[in-house]
Amino acid sequence: MFKLVLLGPPGAGKGTQAVQICKAWELVHISTGDMLREEIKRNSDVGKLASEYLHKGELVPNDLIISMVQQRLAEPDASHGLVLDGFPRTIEQAEALEKLVHIDMAINIAVDSDLLLERICNRRTCIHCKAVFNADDVSGVCTRCGHKLYIRDDDRPETFINRLSVYEARTAPIIEYYRETGKLVTIDGNCSPDEVFKQIMLALAEKIDD
Ligand code: AP5
């Protein structure tokens, strides 16, 4: 079973594609952003520590996130295939991941920056099942589970701009890291979600044929 990493700037569509990939290949979706938001909701110690970083659009410290992912990967369902969405985000995290699990492919969803802000401003997230939608396609209620949709605190334009510059400075270098390992596949993320998904499916089919 595949063990995949999804890379890409904020709003690239990592979460959207992770859900589709997991459905198609019966993989487990591990989103560090969702895990952190859950901790914040529970007001746990990790949540208390992480909340200020998320609010500002900064990365939470490497040791905190690496230990959280390490614990998640130790759970039984993670021994099958998985999609990591939002991790790794620094070279240190990528190196730590290598010691935890063998990654088959790093899929980089490349999107022009002018499209990203528009997507982020239009994103609506389900308070319950965490599904994401474009505001134009929904009425304020999740079409999957019927719960309310909300706007993520870090989707404010000023926070998004910081997230993007943090991405460029700290996360973009891991694209080169995965290129050097021969595991990088870059997908054109400027098209519709269905078209992005088709490109990913093609890359995975080619991987099987290898
Ligand atoms: P996280 O939740 O991971 O946020 P992110 O990486 O910034 O990514 P997003 O969730 O914003 O976007 P996405 O690429 O998943 O896009 P989506 O599919 O939703 O992290 C949040 C914070 O947590 C970080 O800032 C940091 O503080 C902390 N954190 C998390 N992981 C960490 C780590 N490893 N280390 C340190 N800190 C960490 O799509 C966006 C919108 O566009 C949606 O409305 C969607 O419907 C729409 N859309 C998607 N695809 C398309 C398309 N092809 N065409 C048109 N619209 C599209």
Give the pLDDT confidence of 103-147 residue by residue, as tens digits.
999 999 999 999 999 999 999 999 999 999 999 999 999 999 999
Give the pLDDT confidence of 34-75 residue by residue, as tens digits.
999 999 999 999 999 999 999 999 999 999 999 999 999 999
Residues with Cβ within 6 A of ligand 1?
Answer: 8, 10-16, 32-33, 36, 53-54, 57-60, 65, 86-87, 89, 93, 119, 122-123, 132-134, 154, 163, 189, 192-193, 196
- Ligand 1 centre to CA of 209 (Å) is 30
**Which CA distances in Å does 24 have to 40, 43, 105, 170, 204?**
30, 34, 16, 31, 11
pLDDT band for 209, please (50, 70, 90 cuts). confident
State how far the Cα of 6 lies from the Cα of 14, in Å rounded to an integer.
Answer: 6
Q: Which two tokens stand for residue 43?
A: 């007001």
Residue nearest atom 44 of ligand 1, based on CA coordinates:
123
- Ligand 1 centre to CA of 99 (Å) is 25
- Angle formed at CA 182 by CA 176 and CA 188, multiple of 5 degrees: 65
Residue 48, pLDDT score: 97
Residue nearest atom 1 of ligand 1, based on CA coordinates:
33
| Mutation test residue for ligand 1: of 32, 115, 151, the one with most atoms within 8 Å of CB | 32
Say if residue 210's pLDDT is above 80.
Answer: no
pTM as predicted: 0.96
Q: Is 119 a catalytic residue?
A: no
pLDDT band for 80, please (50, 70, 90 cuts). confident
Residue 207, pLDDT score: 86
Say if residue 186's pLDDT is above 90.
Answer: yes
Average pLDDT score, the chain: 96
Q: Is 152 a catalytic residue?
A: yes
State how far the Cα of 160 lies from the Cα of 148, in Å rounded to an integer.
Answer: 23
Work out which ligand 1 atom sits closest to the CA atom of 36.
Answer: 23
The mean pLDDT of 144-164, rounded to a whole number, is 95
Say if residue 173's pLDDT is above 90.
Answer: yes
Q: Which of 152, 179, 183, 207 is catalytic?
A: 152
| Mutation test residue for ligand 1: of 5, 7, 14, the one with most atoms within 8 Å of CB | 14
Q: Which two tokens stand for residue 116?
A: 């990203």
pLDDT band for 198, please (50, 70, 90 cuts). very high
